[in-house]
């Protein structure tokens, strides 16, 4: 064959190359993990620029995270050897939406310097709207309204388009009206919330076709990564922009659709072929990331889903190490095992930067982080603050610091009006003045201040309540168990209730973290000991080592890869997560399984699945059974490893000493796993082929056909 004049094409296989070189018309790449979808997009951009089909500024590329955008920019620069001038429009939906909105802000009633509200501001504003309408905030909390409004925005629904049935679900049918008021308030404040960034783009395009046409002209080529996780608003936005030149290339994997709970719709993949007929559809089947055992395990697991398009994957890589499956006695031991294995890898010369721990929920991180801190293993938490830096943890710690030390002014200030109790900035100012004048701590000042008439009756009453509470809690420090005291403080202060009222996935996560905090206190002799530990932890967090282990949620790991991936917490209830099962049934289970697939396929060389037989749930030890996903792994590709007994030693679980090792593995799933290895797995059975069940087939899922009109559809 002819030598390629374009060196950047030489690193591609023929199918990948086809996806890169199909520059005329729509392209859809639908392929499994690690098949080079992202690489195809990056190379395609380089190709478009190098072959003169487009200037960088005429290319729009959408990534799922800012991190992915940065990496893509680097790789393009690298592929082009720095010859290109300028860069494509490259970023997340939100980043690009913001850029467009700033240019035309006045057309949608904003100024170009509009502010983007964070969640706290957003809630404050919603609360105001609810109050202004005379609605009982206790029954209809702002956080619930926020969840509704976000959901509508994700579906591209402006207030006038909200289906009446849904509007009725909030505040006796006033949901849509509140949404409209909220939007009006945003405009008055020259502000947009996160959901507006795209929604206002949609409105802009709809109301100003000339503006839309400008962008349709401009963007000769549009590219989208992680397409399976776009929501309706994003899809509508894309379709509007792409309908001009129709040069849109989307890459995705239905098996990695994991944001259904946030409004993402896998159906967008099917809509694509409908809205862009004649698309070049490319399937990539060679996985370049993972070894044979890892890929076989992931393929076998995901084959248990019925609602999938189905695809074949193979690798030319060696079989490599089997996926390991390790049962620990409890979650503490699980964390200790991870630490030990990482130290062993490190000793063999592996870089910490090539190692990741992927958890299902962020509350799992605390024990692992604590273990790493004990070992002095540098780590970073990706996609979120580290455990002790989380908002709810800092709030809770502030309460406890006030109990332990009434002179801790910083802590007192932090919680004075959290939850809201009518002690706003005005009260704080009076309090500060009073404390300064008398040279006493704020809390002491509060006690004296409520005996004067410097405050209006309402804040005075609230402040009196608060200082009485603190006096009562402080009196219990020696009388009560410190973790029980902590729980009581969080309850009685209304802090727990504040998050309970919210009833969103996010608030549920925060409540889990709070429980995790309370339960972690048991490991310390008393409140002071615990707080000292925390302050040490906080200090260590700020060191500046460069190579670190990554800890993140499975959701945050999408698109990334590491040599070694630890997957702890594969237990029923935790993973698959009970909430997903309760709320979404079979669909929820399948989304959880896709998450497991995403997890395993992040690994290049080593995937290490773990479960614990005991985990403290809501502060109580509960015995757990291994995840059904464990049973769905192909026996011939998995090695069941014994947890090395580490008696004594620092951090040894109390159970090591109480229970002889080995007898602890008494759960059915675990026994099955052990029996399988004893039988020398791999002898026939349904054991792992490379997706042999689906070989060659492209089974359409049982979805309705016909025109696929969307809510918020922009047709006249």
Residues known to be catalytic: 37-38, 225-226, 256, 602
Helix ranges, 439-542 (H): 442-449, 457-475, 482-492, 495-500, 505-521, 527-541
Dist CA 412 CA 129 (whole Å): 29
Judged by CB under 6 A, which of 13, 119, 418, 476 binds ligand ATP?
A: 13
State the nearest-atom distance from the C-beta of 296 to Mg ion, in Å: 20
Contact call for residues 626 and 327 (beta carbons, < 8 A): yes
702 is in an annotated binding site: no
CB neighbourhood size of 11 (10 A): 13
Query: How many alpha carbons fall within 13 Å on the CB side of residue 634?
Result: 28
Question: In this chain, which residue has its C-beta nearest to Mg ion?
Answer: 38
How remote is the C-alpha of 315 from its chain's centroid?
A: 29
Judged by CB under 6 A, which of 261, 288, 524, 655 binds ligand ATP?
A: 288
State the nearest-atom distance from the C-beta of 584 to ligand ATP, in Å: 23
Q: Which residue, 16, 28, 15, 95, is CA-closest to 242? A: 28
Binding partner of residue 444 among ligand ATP, Mg ion, none, CB cut-off 5 to 8 Å per kind: none
36 is in an annotated binding site: yes
Question: Cα dist. 330→128, 336, 417, 519 in Å?
Answer: 46, 10, 38, 14
State the nearest-atom distance from the C-beta of 563 to ligand ATP, in Å: 11
Judged by CB under 6 A, which of 20, 26, 28, 36 binds ligand ATP?
A: 36
Dist CA 170 CA 438 (whole Å): 49
Location of structure tokens 């060196």: 7
If binding is defined by CB under 5 A, does position 287 make contact with Mg ion? no
Question: In this chain, which residue has its C-beta nearest to ligand ATP?
Answer: 36
Greatest alpha-carbon pair distance for the chain in Å reads 92
Binding partner of residue 12 among Mg ion, ligand ATP, none, CB cut-off 5 to 8 Å per kind: ligand ATP
Question: Cα dist. 166→90, 135, 170, 264, 588 in Å?
Answer: 35, 18, 8, 19, 21
Residue 112 in tokens? 């170009």
If binding is defined by CB under 6 A, does position 16 make contact with ligand ATP? yes
By rule CB under 6 A, what count of residues binds ligand ATP?
Answer: 18
State the nearest-atom distance from the C-beta of 253 to Mg ion, in Å: 8
Contact call for residues 632 and 300 (beta carbons, < 8 A): yes
Name which of 225 and 512 has its Cβ closer to Mg ion.
Answer: 225
If binding is defined by CB under 6 A, does position 228 make contact with ligand ATP? no
Judged by CB under 6 A, which of 15, 196, 229, 253 binds ligand ATP?
A: 253
Name which of 292 and 559 has its Cβ closer to Mg ion.
Answer: 559
682 is in an annotated binding site: no
Q: Which residue, 360, 339, 362, 325, is CA-closest to 569? A: 360
Contact call for residues 119 and 171 (beta carbons, < 8 A): no
State the nearest-atom distance from the C-beta of 134 to Mg ion, in Å: 50
Name which of 79 and 202 has its Cβ closer to ligand ATP.
Answer: 79
CB neighbourhood size of 261 (10 A): 15
If binding is defined by CB under 6 A, does position 487 make contact with ligand ATP? no
State the nearest-atom distance from the C-beta of 65 to ligand ATP, in Å: 11
Residue 146 in tokens? 């926020």
34 is in an annotated binding site: yes
How many helices and strands (H and E) does the chain possess?
A: 28, 16
If binding is defined by CB under 6 A, does position 44 make contact with ligand ATP? no
Residues in contact with Mg ion, shown as a per-residue x/- string from 179 to 208 under the rule CB under 5 A: ------------------------------
CA 473, 477, 483 angle in degrees (round to 5)?
90
State the nearest-atom distance from the C-beta of 597 to ligand ATP, in Å: 10
651 is in an annotated binding site: no
Stretch of 29-37, 83-91, 209-217, 515-523 contacting ligand ATP, by CB under 6 A: 29-37
Dist CA 271 CA 266 (whole Å): 9
353 is in an annotated binding site: no
Name which of 199 and 598 has its Cβ closer to Mg ion.
Answer: 598
Helix ranges, 348-408 (H): 365-375, 391-404
Dist CA 28 CA 33 (whole Å): 15
If binding is defined by CB under 5 A, does position 599 make contact with Mg ion? no
Contact call for residues 627 and 589 (beta carbons, < 8 A): no
State the nearest-atom distance from the C-beta of 59 to Mg ion, in Å: 18
If binding is defined by CB under 6 A, does position 268 make contact with ligand ATP? no
If binding is defined by CB under 5 A, does position 559 make contact with Mg ion? yes
State the nearest-atom distance from the C-beta of 304 to ligand ATP, in Å: 19
If binding is defined by CB under 5 A, does position 38 make contact with Mg ion? yes
Judged by CB under 6 A, which of 34, 556, 626, 712 binds ligand ATP?
A: 34
> Binders of ligand ATP among 542-581, rule CB under 6 A?
559, 561
Report the sign of the C-alpha dihedral through residues 514, 515, 520, 521, in that order: positive
Binding partner of residue 35 among ligand ATP, Mg ion, none, CB cut-off 5 to 8 Å per kind: ligand ATP
CB neighbourhood size of 302 (10 A): 29
If binding is defined by CB under 6 A, does position 35 make contact with ligand ATP? yes
Question: Cα dist. 445→282, 451, 462, 463 in Å?
Answer: 70, 10, 14, 11
If binding is defined by CB under 6 A, does position 289 make contact with ligand ATP? yes
Site residues, ligand ATP (CB under 6 A): 11-13, 16, 33-39, 253, 256, 288-289, 559, 561, 601
Binding-site positions for ATP? 31-38
Site residues, Mg ion (CB under 5 A): 37-38, 559
């Amino acid at each position: 064959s002819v030598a390629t004049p374009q060196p950047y094409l030489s690193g591609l296989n023929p199918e990948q190359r086809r996806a890169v070189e199909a520059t005329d018309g729509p392209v859809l790449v639908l392929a499994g993990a690690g098949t080079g979808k992202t690489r195809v997009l990056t190379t395609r951009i380089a190709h478009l620029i190098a072959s003169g089909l487009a200037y960088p500024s005429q290319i729009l590329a959408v990534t799922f995270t800012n991190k992915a955008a940065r990496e893509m920019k680097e790789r393009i620069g690298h592929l082009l050897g720095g010859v290109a001038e300028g860069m494509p429009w490259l970023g997340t939906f939100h980043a690009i939406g913001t850029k467009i909105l700033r240019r035309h802000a006045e057309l949608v009633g904003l100024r170009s310097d509009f502010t983007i509200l964070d969640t706290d501001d957003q809630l404050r504003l919603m609360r105001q709207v609810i109050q202004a309408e005379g609605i009982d905030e206790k029954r209809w909390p702002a956080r619930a309204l926020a969840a509704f409004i976000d959901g509508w925005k994700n579906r591209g629904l402006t207030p006038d388009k909200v289906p009446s049935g849904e509007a009725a679900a909030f505040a006796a049918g006033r949901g849509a009206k509140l949404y409209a008021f909220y939007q009006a308030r945003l405009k008055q404040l020259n502000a947009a919330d996160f959901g507006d960034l795209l929604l206002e783009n949609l409105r802009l395009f709809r109301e100003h076709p000339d503006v839309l046409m400008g962008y349709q002209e401009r963007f000769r080529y549009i590219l989208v990564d992680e397409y399976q996780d776009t929501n309706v608003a994003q899809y509508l936005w894309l379709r509007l922009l792409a309908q001009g030149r129709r040069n849109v290339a989307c890459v995705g994997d239905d098996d990695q659709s994991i944001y259904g709970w946030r409004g993402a719709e896998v159906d967008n993949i099917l809509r694509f072929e409908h809205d862009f007929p004649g698309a070049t559809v490319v399937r990539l089947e060679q996985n370049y990331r993972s070894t044979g055992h890892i890929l076989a395990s992931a393929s076998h697991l995901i084959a248990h889903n019925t609602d999938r398009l189905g695809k074949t994957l193979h690798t030319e890589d060696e079989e490599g190490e089997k996926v390991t499956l390790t049962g620990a006695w409890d979650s503490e031991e699980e964390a200790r095992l991870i630490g030990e294995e990482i130290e062993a890898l490190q000793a063999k010369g592996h870089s910490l930067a090539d190692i990741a721990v992927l958890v299902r929920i962020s509350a799992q991180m605390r024990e692992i982080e604590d273990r790493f801190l004990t070992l002095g293993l540098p780590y970073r938490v990706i996609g979120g603050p580290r455990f002790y830096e989380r908002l709810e943890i800092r709030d809770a710690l502030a309460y406890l610091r006030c109990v332990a030390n009434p002179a801790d002014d910083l802590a007192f200030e932090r919680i004075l009006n959290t939850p809201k109790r009518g002690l706003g900035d005005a009260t704080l100012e009076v309090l500060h003045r009073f404390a300064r004048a008398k040279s006493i701590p704020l809390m002491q000042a509060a006690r004296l201040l409520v005996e004067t008439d410097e405050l209006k009756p309402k804040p005075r009453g609230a402040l009196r309540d608060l200082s009485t509470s603190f006096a009562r809690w402080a009196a219990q420090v020696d009388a009560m168990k410190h973790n029980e005291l902590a729980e009581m403080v969080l309850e009685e202060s209304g802090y727990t209730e504040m998050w309970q009222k919210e009833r969103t996935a996010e608030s549920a996560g925060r409540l889990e973290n709070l429980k995790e905090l309370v339960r972690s206190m048991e490991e310390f002799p008393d409140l002071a000991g615990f707080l000292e530990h925390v302050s040490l932890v906080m200090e260590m967090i700020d060191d500046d080592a460069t190579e670190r282990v990554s800890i993140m949620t499975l959701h945050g790991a999408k698109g990334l890869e590491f040599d070694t991936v630890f997957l702890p917490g594969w237990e029923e209830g935790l993973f698959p997560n009970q909430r997903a099962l309760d709320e979404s049934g079979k669909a929820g289970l399948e989304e959880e399984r896709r998450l497991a697939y995403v997890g395993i396929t992040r690994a290049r060389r080593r995937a290490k699945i773990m479960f614990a037989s005991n985990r403290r749930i809501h502060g109580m030890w509960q015995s757990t059974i291994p995840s059904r996903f464990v049973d769905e792994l192909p026996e011939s590709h998995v090695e069941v490893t014994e947890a090395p007994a580490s008696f004594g030693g620092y951090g040894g679980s109390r159970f090591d000493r109480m229970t002889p090792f080995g007898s602890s593995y008494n759960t059915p799933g675990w026994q099955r796993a052990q029996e399988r290895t004893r039988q020398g797995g791999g002898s026939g059975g349904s054991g792992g082929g490379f997706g042999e069940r689906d070989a060659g087939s492209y089974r359409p899922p049982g979805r309705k056909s016909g025109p696929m009109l969307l809510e918020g559809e922009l047709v006249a």
